[in-house]
Amino acid sequence: MRKFKEMTPTVILTILIIYFGVLIGISHFVSRKDSSNAAFFSANKNAKWYLVAFGMIGTALSGVTFISVPGEVGSPGGEQFKYFQFVLGNAVGFIVTATVLLPLYYRLSLVSIYEYFEKRLGFYSYKTAAAIFLVSRTIGSAFRLYLVVIVFQRFVFDAFGIPFAVTGLISLALIYAYTYKSGLKAIIITDTLQTFFLVSSVILTIVFICHSLDLNAIEAFETVKNSSYSKIFFWEDFVGNRFHFIKQFLGGMFVTIAMTGLDQDLMQKNLSCSNIKDAQKNMFTFTGIFVLINIFFLGVGALLYIYADANGVEVPLDFVTGKPRTDLLFPEIAFHHLALFPAVVFLLGLIAATFATTDSALTALTTSFCIDFLGMDKPENANNPKNVTTRKMIHLIFCFVMFGVIVVFNAINDASVVSMIFKIASYTYGPLLGLFTFGMFFKNRKVHDKWVPFICISSPFITLYLSNHSVTLFNGYVFDNELIIINGFITLVLLLVISFKNKKHLSE
């Protein structure tokens, strides 16, 4: 395909302005009659399941997925399509969430899923679980947004002399502008639109690259299949290979159960459906689309490297380390080597993937804090006229907290350190896995509630120690995503140690 006009920073900025103008307009239309807390927290419990299912794709697939998954296909580590093993585990995790956790949440009529712990284990367990979510989701979402702000900074805002911090602040201000009034009610609509852009972008990118390589659909499939990028299943060396199928599959399964089923963010959307049957239809539909779209992402990755090899495109270097940075290959090719329209399509997909994740996270963080720490759903507080104003202020505060985390990431400016921070953040979901396992499968036992926070703090550090010394401790074994299982198991064992027989035996 002949490049007839390069994607300039001015063009990108214009598209950004139009895009967010549309989102803000939609939000204003949706919230013009109802900006209540019920609309913000649960979309008044009348969301259409098919809108939730489609919109959840944008929430589940962040900008990191959009640029990193394709980039990793050709990484020096030889990852190829190994990520699909993880995706298969994800699919099983979504099914477990739909069939085990969703019925529990609906039966208890929860707004925040962590309210379950107050009824089952006690006050301190409840607050600990909510705090784990707040810390984990803030760090994780800020990290995802940070990596994409880097792309915007490099390809757009550097040209205008705008500092990185201002770019990050603008990004969060735009999200706040279309979420602060009606939160989840608006997000269900805006994320449906953003998911449309995301899915369209991936499919059209495949079309554009195939056209530029003079390949039809069948030829493209055969080219990818016969390339050095298409290995899916890794069965070699279970002990030392972190790509091994069992590690990736089990890790994908339990990461999904913990970071979706036990996470207020995605569960908040599920709980906006009017009944459990609609919520489950949403989850099953979402699972099918999720698996399919990840196949497309991996296909894009292989085609990007095939295109790069054919056209002499080098993987961009990191400005700090000077090493190749694979997650910049997609934007490099889209902005500098394809025509204007493919570049616009890529940009819309990247924006959609990034902001559909972050807007949902900010809404979930606000909801959790307002419900779990301010008790806005309690009968004595439900009719307080100041609740809406307080909720908007909390929403703004979380924007600034996330902005602060992004600035810290940028100040560290070391990919290995940042990756470790993100990995540690994912460790914190292990205690949630242990807490829920104890609560659901050991109903004849209670815990000494005041000890729970110490256990949930200790477990990730024990897990981190085991991970760092696994080669020595376990005869060469190398952990990967399955580490969350160890984390949850340690938490469960420690909870059993401090437990005692529940004479009342709560019937749940």
This prediction's pTM: 0.83
pLDDT computed for residue 63 by the predictor:
65
What mean pLDDT do residues 257-272 have? 81
Q: Is 165 exposed, middle or buried (0-12, 13-18, 19+ CB in 10 A)?
A: middle
Q: How many CB atoms lie within 10 A of CB 470?
A: 17
Is the model's pLDDT at 92 over the cut of 80?
A: yes
pLDDT reported for residue 124: 94
DSSP letter string, 342-399: HHHHHHHHHHHHHHHHHHHHHHHHHHHIIIIIT-TTSTTTTT-TTHHHHHHHHHHHHH
Task: Give the CA dihedral 313, 316, 322, 327, nearest 10 degrees.
Answer: -130
Residue 327's SS3 state is helix
Label residue 401 by pLDDT band (50, 70, 90): very high
**SS3 category, 445:** strand
pLDDT at 353: 77
State the Cα–Cα distance between residues 119 and 501, nearest whole angstrom: 16
pLDDT tens, position by position, 175-206:
888 888 777 777 888 888 888 888 888 888 88
Lowest-pLDDT range of 34-48, 103-117, 321-335, 432-446: 34-48
- pLDDT beyond 70 at 505: no
Q: Is the pLDDT of residue 207 over 80?
A: yes
Amino acid at 179: T
Return the SS3 of 446: strand
Distance, CA of 18 to CA of 215 (rounded, Å): 34
What percentage of residues in the chain have a pLDDT greater than 90? 23
The band of 4, judged by pLDDT with boundaries at 50, 70 and 90, is: very low
pLDDT tops 90 at residue 38? no
Structural tokens at position 433: 């896995």
Is the CB of residue 208 less than 8 Å from the CB of residue 342? yes
Domains annotated for the chain, with CATH where assigned, are 9-34+47-408 (1.20.1730.10)
Whether 2 shows a pLDDT value over 50: the answer reads: no
pLDDT at 496: 95
Average pLDDT of 215-238? 89
Question: Mean pLDDT, to the nearest integer, of 310-331?
Answer: 80
Cβ atoms within 10 Å, residue 475: 9
Average the pLDDT over 50-56 and give the result. Answer: 78
pLDDT of residue 3: 44
Distance CA 373, CA 368 (A): 8
Asked whether the beta carbons of 80 and 73 are under 8 A apart, the reply is yes
For the chain, the average pLDDT equals: 84
| % of the chain with per-residue pLDDT over 70 | 92
- Best CA proximity match to 367, nearest among 39, 51, 8: 39
Q: Report the range of poorest mean pLDDT among 145-154, 173-182, 404-413, 498-507.
A: 498-507
Strand partners, 500: 446
- In this prediction, residue 274 has a pLDDT band, given cuts at 50, 70 and 90, of confident
